[in-house]
């Protein structure tokens, strides 16, 4: 199908873009990798597209005092190849190879993915895991929302129609933090049926303070409420890790659809979790000769 008619503007300055967004029916065009598909399928019908691709202020990955800033025009390919991201936000670097395909990564943006809030997208899940700060601007106002408060429902966020995500700020990884990421998709790079992201702190012979997020299967990234008492010890056995995974996935509320029933997705998430816990354990305690299995 073909896109419905819409007006198009391409401002050079952020102030002009925010002014255009104040009109009813105006929508931001950044990478366009979901938006133009939805236009082609006539799933959306904006009156005006505000193309932000020429606004220089929205470019750039910056290592700042308050964290690692990713501007609204930073594309997935830029994040994938960024040495700053690899060093400071290793969870993003781990997940990026799973994000779509080369041609889509060449245009799609981090902030655009956050704004759309597709349940199977990686960026919202990573932002929730690390509790990134999402910066929203509209004409004359700027506010920051924690990622854990931003995602409200299927494709629903705290962003208002006249607001644009101008940047997202990820916290710098601490030396004692260990991360894990895995997802299940029919074809590499396709929408995830279920995926998981994990952050933990290493303390002696234990990984603790676990943050576990499950996405794809849920309407919004699910930060598991069941992890505060959980630990991954250096000598934890495979059955112990499997029990942890079961406890976490018990809190899931998977969407049932063509990709599977709720119990199937719970099982798939549990498998991804126990594999990832094992992987994190061996990376955190490499060379310690933990005699599991």
Partner 1 sequence: MTDLHSIAFMLNGKSVTADVDARLHLADFLRHTLHLTGTHIGCEHGVCGACNVLVDGRSTRSCLMLAVQVDGAHVETIEGLTASGQIADLQAAFTARNALQCGYCTPGVLATAAELLTGNKPTRDEIRDALSGNYCRCTGYHAIVDAIETVAGKRHGGAP
Q: How far is the CB of 89 from partner 1 (least distance, A)?
A: 22
Choose between 249 and 259: whose C-beta lies nearer to partner 1: 259
Stretch that binds partner 1, among 29-37, 86-94, 120-128, 203-211 (CB under 8 A): 29-37
**Between 184 and 248, whose beta carbon lies closer to partner 1?**
184
Which of the residues 133 through 152 are near partner 1 (CB under 8 A)? none
Strand partners, 215: 195
Residues of span 41-70 touching partner 1 by CB under 8 A: 41, 49, 51, 53
Cβ of residue 176: shortest distance to partner 1, in angstroms? 32
In the complex with partner 1, the residue whose CB is nearer, 106 or 237, is 106
Contact region with partner 1 (CB under 8 A), list: 30-38, 66-74, 126-134, 236-244: 30-38
Burial level of 11, CB count in 10 A (0-12/13-18/19+)?
middle
Nearer to partner 1, 49 or 210 (CB): 49
Tokens of 167: 């940047």
Contact code string over 108-127 relative to partner 1, x by CB under 8 A:
--------------------
**Residue 33 within binding range of partner 1, rule CB under 8 A:** yes
Binding positions for partner 1, rule: CB under 8 A = 1-8, 10, 29, 32-33, 36-37, 39-41, 49, 51, 53, 77, 97, 100-104, 106-107, 187-189
């Amino acid at each position: 199908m073909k896109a419905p008619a819409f007006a198009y503007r391409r401002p050079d300055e952020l102030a002009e873009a925010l002014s255009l967004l104040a009109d009813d029916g105006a929508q931001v065009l950044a990478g366009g990798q979901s938006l133009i598909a939805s236009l082609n399928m006539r799933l959306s019908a904006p009156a005006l597209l505000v193309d932000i691709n020429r606004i220089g202020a929205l470019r750039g990955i910056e290592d700042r005092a308050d964290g690692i800033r990713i501007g609204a025009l930073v594309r997935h390919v830029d994040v994938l190849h960024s040495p700053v991201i690899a060093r400071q936000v290793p969870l993003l670097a781990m997940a990026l190879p799973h994000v779509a395909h080369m041609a889509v990564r060449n245009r799609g943006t981090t902030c655009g993915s956050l704004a759309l809030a597709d349940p199977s997208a990686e960026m919202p899940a990573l932002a929730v895991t690390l509790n990134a700060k999402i910066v929203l601007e509209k004409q004359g106002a700027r506010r920051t929302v924690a990622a854990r408060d931003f995602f409200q429902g299927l494709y629903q966020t705290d962003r208002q129609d006249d607001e644009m995500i101008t940047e997202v700020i990820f916290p710098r990884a601490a030396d004692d933090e260990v991360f894990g990421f895995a997802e299940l998709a029919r074809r590499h790079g396709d929408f995830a049926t279920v995926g998981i992201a994990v952050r933990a702190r290493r303390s002696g012979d234990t990984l603790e303070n676990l943050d576990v997020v499950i996405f794809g299967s849920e309407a919004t990234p699910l930060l598991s409420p069941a992890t505060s008492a959980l630990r991954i010890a250096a000598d934890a056995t495979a059955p112990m890790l499997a029990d942890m995974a079961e406890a976490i996935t018990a809190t899931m509320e998977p969407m049932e659809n063509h990709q599977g029933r709720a119990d199937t997705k719970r099982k798939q998430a549990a498998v991804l979790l126990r594999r990832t816990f094992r992987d994190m354990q061996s990376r955190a305690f490499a060379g310690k000769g933990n005699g599991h299995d």
